[in-house]
Amino acid sequence: MELRDRFVVRPDKQVKLADWDPGETLGLEKGSAVEKTEKSIARLDELQYLMYAEHRHALLVVLQGMDGAGKDGTIRHVMRGLNPQGCRVTSFKAPSAEEADHDFLWRVHRAAPASGEVAIFNRSHYEDVLAARVRKLVPKSVWSRRFDHINRFEQLLTDSGVVVSKFFLYISKDEQRRRFEQRLRDPTKQWKLSPSDFEDRKQWDDYVTAYEEALTRCSTPDVPWFIVPADKKWFRNFAVSHILVETLEALDMRFPEPTVDLSRIKLD
């Protein structure tokens, strides 16, 4: 069984996060998983180059998770082997005045990858059915309609050759507490803390409900969600890197034929 099959959210299946174990490691030991992760990172570099050469597909990696789930860490560790010339990371914060004057997907579509490129979203358009819902930034009549907009938008990307890989990095509430406590003690990590982190933690159950609906309603046959156990950082990195390799290898990409007659080229 591929790792994609193990952690995919089946379309039309009701998600209950209580049924998923954020501490799951599939019986792997850390050392073995780290070794496998390094091989996946090297393979991602090869596949990115192949995708750029073929120029038929693009890759969009969407990372979501509770505060402290490891979105930054995943980018730093898993994506470090990619060629930065063809890779762009976008972090979606509160919308600017210009962005707020457009529909909620306007700024997202602008950040989508072109053919041959890789784009990584640190948070994403899903904040508009998560934080916007929990913090009551918009009424239910607004956010509840966004699920269908998101599905149509992601289908448009898919139909245009963009492979959308969506990862929910799932940590437990206890693990989040441990990571927050570590940040409070570590001067090199204190800068990451913000008052909103602790306010959102008080609404943990509301966020769980919001995530469960988003994962249920927006995991489609062409653009599924993957729920990645993230209590163990080393397993999170292993799972994300391995699933990305499986996803890109499934495209069966090929290098294009030369555009010139090689037999006619003579080097002095």
CA–CA gap between residue 176 and residue 66 (Å, rounded): 8
* Angle subtended at Cα 129 by Cα 6 and Cα 150, rounded to the nearest 5 degrees: 70
pTM greater than the 0.75 cutoff = yes
In which band, very low, low, confident or very high, does the pLDDT at 108 lie, cut at 50, 70 and 90? very high
3 state DSSP class of 58: strand
Do 123 and 64 meet the contact criterion of CB atoms below 8 Å apart?
yes
> Which of 92-96, 183-187, 215-219 is the most confident on average?
215-219
Single out the residue of 169, 156, 167 nearest to residue 222, CA to CA: 156
CA–CA gap between residue 231 and residue 4 (Å, rounded): 19
Task: Judge whether residue 64 has pLDDT over 90.
Answer: yes
CA–CA gap between residue 231 and residue 111 (Å, rounded): 29
In which band, very low, low, confident or very high, does the pLDDT at 258 lie, cut at 50, 70 and 90? confident
Domain 3-254 is of which CATH architecture? 3-Layer(aba) Sandwich (3.40)
> CB neighbours (10 Å) of residue 260?
7
Residue 262: alpha-carbon gap to chain centroid: 41
Q: Find the helix or strand (DSSP H, E) in which 39 lies.
A: helix 30-54
CA–CA gap between residue 40 and residue 49 (Å, rounded): 14
Do 259 and 96 meet the contact criterion of CB atoms below 8 Å apart?
no
Q: Find the helix or strand (DSSP H, E) in which 156 lies.
A: helix 146-159
- Angle between helices 195-202 and 173-185 in degrees, nearest 10: 160
Looking at residue 219, its pLDDT comes to 98
CA–CA gap between residue 25 and residue 239 (Å, rounded): 9
In which band, very low, low, confident or very high, does the pLDDT at 189 lie, cut at 50, 70 and 90? confident
Task: Judge whether residue 102 has pLDDT over 90.
Answer: yes
φ, ψ for residue 41, nearest 5 deg: -65, -40
Which segments within 189-258 are labelled E, that is strand?
225-229
Percentage of the chain exceeding pLDDT 70: 100
In which band, very low, low, confident or very high, does the pLDDT at 233 lie, cut at 50, 70 and 90? very high
> CB neighbours (10 Å) of residue 2?
13
Task: Judge whether residue 148 has pLDDT over 80.
Answer: yes
